[in-house]
């Protein structure tokens, strides 16, 4: 138990205090276990947990997998190291802020603050933020940011450097936020290739794709979620138009076809999504599902094992207790450690 707890929250072997408590048989006491979780979370070593879990949960380990196309995105030339580092750190510090203050898991979907420095605020079009230090900043009314869905790190790892894909982003939301990954595509599904000359929009291409009966069943769940994020480019910048390469020398223009997200898209149960605000509203309709997904992610990370059918009861017990604790992230970590799955596996 001492080893599991320490590797979960510190990513190290247990220290003397944990080892001594284990030798004396005291870690089985709920009050002792709670006190140790607090001690471990309050230590600087907990940064290992924050960094590793966030990277695993939100796929941030893929941050270097692609580099923005230099022709389409010259302002991100060379990968813009300062911006990329700030992007990843923003997400880690956002998680840390929720953990420290025991804020609701709903903040992962929408929040009235973001973790910004001058470079990141410039990227997001938010005025008044100066300096290199990342810190909590109140977002202005009507902001297009808030939560992890609109953070540049997430938007980058769900794009390929040249184009964005509503399918990739929609699947990411289903898998990482709702915990409901779609079935794999049928063998004959085919791929949608980007039209770099802008003759057809991505939406037009997807409308054709969805006419295939074997594809439509999943795409009706995926596409509305992904298209709600389509106004964010490959590095998470806001756009009204696609960038395209045109002319004999394939010169870039920012004024390509408009990003068609204003046309409403309907989910299987009738919810209509036409914007990022609609997407956030839809996700927040079922906080228990958000909690269930994150509980499963935390338990998998904490135990180092995939969850089994027998673990469903433990997950359900945790989720049932969270509303009384305002779905707090720190409270969730305590519930995970006190769960049968963590204690007995």
Q: Give tens-digit pLDDT for 104-159.
A: 999 999 999 999 999 999 999 999 999 999 999 999 999 999 999 999 999 999 99
Whether 341 and 331 map to the same domain: the answer is: yes
**Can you give the pLDDT at residue 71?**
87
Q: Is the pLDDT assigned to residue 258 strictly greater than 90?
A: no
∠ CA 279-222-327 to the nearest 5 degrees? 45
Whether 304 and 260 map to the same domain: the answer is: no
**Can you give the pLDDT at residue 259?**
87
* Residue 15, domain member (yes or no): no
* Residue 27, domain member (yes or no): no
DSSP β-bridge partners for residue 166:
none
Whether 95 and 85 map to the same domain: the answer is: yes
Whether 234 and 325 map to the same domain: the answer is: no
Domain range for 189 is 65-284
Whether 319 and 179 map to the same domain: the answer is: no
Whether 227 and 237 map to the same domain: the answer is: yes
Q: Domain end: 258, 284, 310, which one?
A: 284
Question: What is the DSSP-derived secondary structure letter of residue 179?
Answer: S
* Residue 12, domain member (yes or no): no
Average pLDDT over residues 42-47: 97
* Residue 272, domain member (yes or no): yes
Residue-averaged pLDDT of the chain = 89
Q: Is the pLDDT assigned to residue 217 strictly greater than 70?
A: no
DSSP β-bridge partners for residue 232:
238
Structural domains in the chain (count) = 2
Q: What percent of the chain has pLDDT over 70?
A: 88
Taking the C-alpha atoms of residue 12 and residue 289, their distance in angstroms, rounded to an integer, is: 31
Band (pLDDT 50/70/90 cuts) for residue 338 is: very high
* Residue 6, domain member (yes or no): no
* Residue 60, domain member (yes or no): no
* Residue 187, domain member (yes or no): yes
**Can you give the pLDDT at residue 191?**
54
| Number of C-beta neighbours around residue 225 at 10 A | 25
Closest CA to 184 of 215, 155, 228: 215
Whether 194 and 324 map to the same domain: the answer is: no
Residue with tokens 């990277």: 55
Is the CB of residue 45 less than 8 Å from the CB of residue 10?
yes
Taking the C-alpha atoms of residue 174 and residue 105, their distance in angstroms, rounded to an integer, is: 16
Band (pLDDT 50/70/90 cuts) for residue 210 is: low
Q: Which of 236-250, 297-311, 318-332 has the lowest mean pLDDT?
A: 236-250
**Can you give the pLDDT at residue 214?**
56
Q: Domain end: 246, 262, 284, which one?
A: 284
Whether 280 and 292 map to the same domain: the answer is: no
* Residue 259, domain member (yes or no): yes
Q: CB-based burial of residue 288 (10 Å sphere; 0-12 exposed, 13-18 middle, 19+ buried)?
A: middle
As given in the structure block, the two tokens for residue 39 are 């001690």
3-state class of 180 per DSSP?
Answer: coil
Whether 96 and 155 map to the same domain: the answer is: yes
Band (pLDDT 50/70/90 cuts) for residue 74 is: confident
Taking the C-alpha atoms of residue 146 and residue 150, their distance in angstroms, rounded to an integer, is: 6
Phi-psi region at 80: left, alpha or beta (left = phi > 0; alpha = psi -120 to 50): left
Q: Is the pLDDT assigned to residue 272 strictly greater than 90?
A: no
Is the CB of residue 298 less than 8 Å from the CB of residue 336?
yes
Average pLDDT over residues 46-70: 94
Taking the C-alpha atoms of residue 232 and residue 10, their distance in angstroms, rounded to an integer, is: 35
Whether 149 and 114 map to the same domain: the answer is: yes
Whether 147 and 238 map to the same domain: the answer is: yes
Whether 201 and 259 map to the same domain: the answer is: yes
Taking the C-alpha atoms of residue 228 and residue 124, their distance in angstroms, rounded to an integer, is: 17
């Amino acid at each position: 138990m001492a080893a599991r707890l320490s590797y979960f929250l510190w990513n190290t072997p247990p220290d003397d205090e944990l080892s001594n408590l284990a030798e004396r048989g005291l870690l089985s006491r709920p009050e002792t276990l709670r006190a140790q979780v607090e001690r471990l979370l309050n230590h600087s070593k907990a940064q290992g947990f924050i960094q590793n879990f966030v990277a695993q949960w939100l796929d941030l380990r893929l941050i270097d997998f692609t580099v923005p196309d230099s022709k389409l995105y010259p302002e991100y030339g060379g990968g813009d190291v300062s911006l990329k580092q700030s992007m990843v750190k923003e997400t880690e510090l956002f998680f840390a802020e929720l953990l420290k203050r025991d804020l609701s898991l709903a903040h992962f979907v929408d929040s009235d603050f973001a973790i910004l420095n001058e470079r990141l605020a410039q990227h997001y079009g938010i005025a008044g933020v100066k300096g290199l230090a990342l810190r909590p900043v109140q977002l202005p009314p009507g902001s297009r940011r808030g939560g992890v869905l609109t953070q540049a790190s997430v938007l980058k790892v769900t794009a390929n450097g040249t184009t964005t894909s509503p399918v990739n982003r929609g699947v990411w939301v289903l898998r990482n936020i709702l915990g409901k990954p779609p079935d794999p595509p049928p063998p004959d599904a085919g791929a949608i290739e980007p039209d770099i000359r802008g003759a057809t929009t991505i939406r037009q291409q997807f409308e054709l794709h969805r006419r295939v009966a074997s594809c439509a069943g999943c795409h009706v769940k995926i596409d509305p979620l992904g298209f709600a994020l389509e106004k964010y480019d490959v590095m998470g910048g806001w756009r009204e138009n696609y960038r395209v390469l045109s002319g004999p020398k394939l010169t870039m223009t920012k004024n390509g076809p408009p990003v068609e997200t204003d046309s409403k898209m309907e989910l299987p149960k009738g919810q209509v999504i036409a914007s990022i605000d609609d997407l956030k509203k839809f996700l927040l309709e079922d906080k228990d599902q958000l909690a269930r997904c994150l509980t499963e992610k935390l338990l998998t990370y904490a135990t180092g094992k995939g969850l089994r059918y027998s673990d469903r009861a433990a997950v359900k017990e945790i989720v049932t207790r969270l509303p009384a604790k305002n779905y707090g992230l720190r409270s969730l970590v305590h519930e995970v450690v006190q769960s049968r799955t963590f204690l007995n596996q």
